Chain A
């Protein structure tokens, strides 16, 4: 008899363990789902990543709090979700679990992927109801390019960046170059770099890990055209212009020997610049604040040098809203997006983080004027936006991007030739995109 009691006890223990877990789960999900209808207060979940250094979570939390104060009937709960990649993964999991977040910041390039998953809402209805296109048109076109397909807008630019040229003014002076005249063309870039090169210092560095395709895109844009069609269904990797662009990149190290050979680590390039190991670098504006704080020398920021024209792709994260949430919450989420992108907030966000302010009107804000005045480099990024274009984003984006990255690295490390490699990449990308061109 005692044995039976004992074994029953064991079973009950194990059961309670299991139910303990599952009930914990279910209660948390129901909480989220019920958020809307309890006591008329709308609860919003907001996923956001952090991709640059600094106390960004604090700033985001502060902004959400401000919003909650202004809108007592809405409570936004910001959820920090790691890197961009992690955030996408979490959003994807939430979408599949039928509990999408109400609003999230993800890479602008996730557009086609999210559409293919049928996960995101077009925002045109909200825009129309809320003052119409005036709001949207205030954003820089280079930023907005990754938001729109077939005339519909799917995301709102938020934390955006672009590539600029950083250069060491002290080094320029040292070799007799005018520190106020950075290179404006590819030829000048090579000339200057050759002059700046000495033992222990390279002329220029273009990072070739992580965002290899992005850097290549800059060169391609300067030589004429973007790498993909606007609808993300076609890519143009192997055009003669792009082969030339890639050849130029390779030549910087192989032929002119003004750049280190092999792959230059994304995160190492800014350190090289700050250490004086390279006199110039291509890098994201996301590093402005970091370089400003850490540089022990006078540095300048300039447009990326031109071939046929200036050109630089944009990058960074946009606000997205998701299908499958109820209408009331969608209204609230839209309100939140509007709040976060108000000119004065966009200006403040830019000042606090170093991201480029996404709206033209933000630059009319007093805080922004002051910032640009104290730190003219911030204006360079804005002015270059005139030549800003959409970041590489296609259907099957992950695969296509990796393909291009691998191809570029293979060429940069001397394993293959530009023309041949890009041709092969083009063929494979066509295959990857075939299902979307039916």
Chain B
């Protein structure tokens, strides 16, 4: 009896401590998600003064919407283009920055710098770089005797241009996680391996890389979710154009909600995005987690 009471007291104490963050979580995360979920089954656009329940009509319409499929495919390509490359680049940069003997802090700063710059500013910088005729890239291509290219104005190029920019922007950020991860690997392990005469590739493959797996996992999830969350550059650079060639899911949601004023459809799109991200996170956590060593 007394034990039960003591236990209850301990639990209550824990709950009380959790209460503030719990309230905020409920208020600003769960409640809106639930509201969005409910709204996604309603017609709530400019044509309907009062929202009314319309079942899965929004989802049906979405399936038939070419633009939806286009932005979804775009987003998948965007993720495939940015996630592995930026993560690999981050790892390479971290290994280099960690090994560098001279100018260590300069190299780190140089790598990290793009991360500190706000996405809006980055977009403006790259807007200039990609400008045809007198943009920085145009000049470089001129030196190589290549013709001018309209990077942002052409459907075939625009996605590559975006992917490249985002990799540049993100890799430095992920590098910081890898640097921290590398610091956590005991120097003794490397000394031990060097006693055995392991080549640096073997050391990387058999020691460094597996021990960085938790970092890789974490960074991959961040990178993947970022590939769905990062759309600021679209506002500045292309507005999703030309003809949706650079449009991404979140920007399309924004357009649907605040330009088309179709709240119902925007909610349905949001739910799709939330489910998508949850699935990926779940796969990464439950599927890959077992193969990863955690200290």
Contacts and interface: CB of A to CB of B under 8 A. Distances in A.
A406 B243 contact: yes
B47 A263 contact: no
A265 B134 CA distance: 13
Interface in A396-410: 396, 398-399, 401-402, 405-407, 409-410
Contact of B238 (A209, A395, A396): A209
B267 to A, nearest CB: 15
A11 B19 contact: yes
A323 to B, nearest CB: 13
Nearest to B149: A262
Given A116-B46, A209-B242, A409-B241, A7 B261 contact: no
Interface in A270-286: 271-272, 275, 277
Contacts of B153: 208-209, 260-265, 413
A18 B45 CA distance: 33
Interface residues of B, number: 37
Interface string B219-263: 000000000000000000011011111000000000100111110
A92 interface: yes
A71 interface: no
Nearest to B131: A268
Contact of A405 (B46, B127, B150, B241): B241
B191 to A, nearest CB: 48
B17 A10 contact: yes
Interface string B134-178: 100000000000000010111100000000000000000000000
Given A117-B46, A261-B150, A410 B243 contact: yes
Contacts of B20: 13-14, 17-18
Contacts of A271: 131, 134
B244 A406 contact: yes
Q: Is the interface of A mostly helix, strand, loop or mixed?
A: helix
Contacts of B45: 396
B258 A88 contact: yes
Interface in A179-222: 200, 208-210
B81 interface: no
Contacts of A402: 255, 259-260
Nearest to B237: A265
Contacts of B154: 261-263, 413
A265 B152 contact: yes
B271 interface: no
B259 A85 contact: yes
A406 B47 CA distance: 22
A402 B45 CA distance: 16
A262 B17 CA distance: 58
B289 interface: no
A197 B265 CA distance: 47
A402 B260 CA distance: 9
Contacts of A398: 255, 258-261
Interface of B: 9, 12-13, 16-17, 19-20, 23, 45-49, 67, 127, 131-134, 150, 152-155, 238-239, 241-245, 255, 258-262
6 contacts: A113-B46, A116-B49, A200-B133, A260-B132, A260-B153, A264-B153
Given A14-B23, A210-B239, A265-B153, 10 more contacts: A113-B46, A116-B49, A209-B238, A261-B153, A398-B255, A398-B259, A413-B153, A413-B154, A413-B155, A435-B48
Closest 9 CB pairs of A and B: A262-B153, A435-B47, A263-B153, A14-B20, A398-B259, A262-B150, A410-B243, A409-B242, A409-B243
